[in-house]
Amino acid sequence: MKLYRAKVPTIAHDTIAALLRDDDIEVEGPNVEEAEADLVAIMEEFMRRDSDFRNRIKDEMSNRGIPYDRYGEVRKRMSEEMDHPVGDDIERFLCRQFIECLMISRFVEEVYADDRVLHRKIMEVLRGHHVDEREIREEAASRIKNIAEGTVEYEIAMQKAVKEAKVRRGLIAEKRPRRQ
């Protein structure tokens, strides 16, 4: 799972809404936004930690002269060393964090469901917001068919097309030039 900043508030809202709808938790009206903000904070901290993790991988590879084609191997080793979730483990990690937060949050009056039920419902929400990165790349590739693969021009066009696809899907915000 890749977590996009633009999706974070929606994931938090949908999680709290699903648990409230099924009476799994009790949150007083004015505290709903605060309970959602707690989940947003968890996801933002994860994204900060993940960014730091990726930078450490790049530094490690650069310092040791490891070629980029071994990125996955280095990432796997370092994720185990640093106990940092990757891939499908991200959803499970966030789910555990959400449940723990619900149990201790001062904005959640009561938790009625057991951990197993909470886990299943939260995972449904997280999986519902899963982004298929392969599909985005395929869409981007279909838009740049007129450029030969393997060229610098292709890579530049692909990056631009992927970004445009993500903007269209609301995964990232379109940056507008600053006025001077």
3 Cβ partners below 8 Å, 6+ apart? Answer: 43, 46, 47, 50, 90, 94
Give the CA angle between residues 173, 33, 3 to the nearest 5°.
Answer: 40
Q: How confident is the model at residue 175 (pLDDT cuts 50, 70, 90)?
A: low
56 Cβ partners below 8 Å, 6+ apart? Answer: 78, 82
Q: What is the pLDDT of residue 60?
A: 92
Q: Using H for helix, E for strand and C for coil, what is the string for 28-43?
A: CHHHHHHHHHHHHHHH
Q: What is the pLDDT of residue 154?
A: 84
Q: How confident is the model at residue 143 (pLDDT cuts 50, 70, 90)?
A: confident
Q: Give backbone dihedrals phi and psi of 25, rounded to 5 degrees, phi first.
A: -135, 160
Q: How confident is the model at residue 177 (pLDDT cuts 50, 70, 90)?
A: low
Mean pLDDT within 110-132 = 93
Q: What is the pTM of this model?
A: 0.80
pLDDT in tens, 99-120: 999 999 999 999 999 999 999 9
Spatial separation of the C-alpha atoms in residues 35 and 32, rounded to whole Å: 5
